[in-house]
């Protein structure tokens, strides 16, 4: 009987573990695949400090229409990074602010820049400050079709010794018809994030700031 109780306890523990794994795997998450431009040596040897701020007035990533498809989501994003036409590789699951940091770190590194993100490791290098203004995914329900909509906006500034030397605002929105589950939502947000991050014209901002 002792052995039987022991085996029952083991089987119960395994069942609970499997149920927990299944429960975790069923939690929906937004998958973003950022495609960085091909690497160049444009700013090789130059170092910048990357600062990310989050000034979104609405911190909810999902609009009311999208919440049903992403029910019980943690609000984090699964991020993959690709260069050019590569398939890309997953680098982790991040809150939106940390995801933004990873994306712009890759964007600046693609220009040959040495990017510092740890404030404690910062020196006298100029700062690239990215202030996220909007990051929103929603689902608009029509009488016949349903459409995913995505919006993103950010301000970028070049600072030196705390003084703003140059800046720009970049924003955009896009939409895609929902056909299969959340697949179109992933590709829609991936395309928008890639487009807007790659619109960052670092050379023009550095010239405006008088750094190059």
Domain interval for residue 163: 28-209
Verdict on whether the full-model pTM lies above 0.95:
no
**pLDDT value, residue 10:** 43
Residue 162 is assigned to a structural domain of this protein: yes
Residue 51 is assigned to a structural domain of this protein: yes
SS3 state at 194: helix
CB 64 within 8 A of CB 138: yes
| CATH code (residue 180) | 3.40.50.10610
Number of domains, the chain: 1
**pLDDT value, residue 20:** 40
Asked whether the CA dihedral 97, 33, 139, 174 is positive or negative, the reply is positive
Mention every residue, 6+ apart, whose C-beta is less than 8 A from residue 50: 101, 104, 105, 108, 115, 116, 117, 127, 128, 130
Is pLDDT above 80 for 181?
no
Residue 19 is assigned to a structural domain of this protein: no
pLDDT tens for each residue of 157-175? 999 988 999 999 999 999 9
SS3 state at 188: helix
Residue 132 is assigned to a structural domain of this protein: yes
CB 31 within 8 A of CB 93: no
The C-alpha atoms of residue 26 and residue 19 are separated, in whole angstroms, by: 11
Residue 6 is assigned to a structural domain of this protein: no
């Amino acid at each position: 009987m002792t052995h039987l109780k022991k085996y029952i306890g083991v089987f119960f523990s395994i069942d609970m573990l499997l149920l927990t794994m299944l429960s975790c795997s069923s939690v929906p998450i937004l998958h973003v695949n950022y495609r960085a431009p091909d690497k160049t040596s444009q700013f090789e040897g130059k170092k910048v400090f990357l600062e990310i701020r989050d000034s979104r007035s609405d911190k909810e990533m999902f609009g009311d229409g999208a919440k049903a498809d992403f029910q019980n989501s943690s609000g984090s994003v699964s991020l993959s990074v690709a260069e050019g036409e590569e398939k890309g590789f997953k680098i982790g699951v991040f809150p939106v602010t940390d995801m933004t940091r990873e994306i712009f770190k890759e964007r600046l590194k693609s220009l040959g820049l040495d990017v510092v993100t740890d404030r404690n490791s910062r020196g006298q290098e100029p700062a690239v400050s990215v202030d996220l203004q909007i990051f929103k995914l929603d689902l608009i329900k029509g009488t016949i079709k349903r459409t995913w909509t995505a919006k993103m906006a950010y301000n970028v500034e070049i600072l030196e010794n705390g003084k703003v030397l140059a800046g720009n605002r970049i924003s955009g929105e896009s939409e895609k018809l929902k056909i299969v589950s959340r697949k179109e939502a992933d590709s829609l947000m991936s395309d928008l994030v890639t487009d807007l991050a790659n619109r960052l014209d670092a050379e023009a901002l550095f010239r405006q700031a008088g750094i190059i």
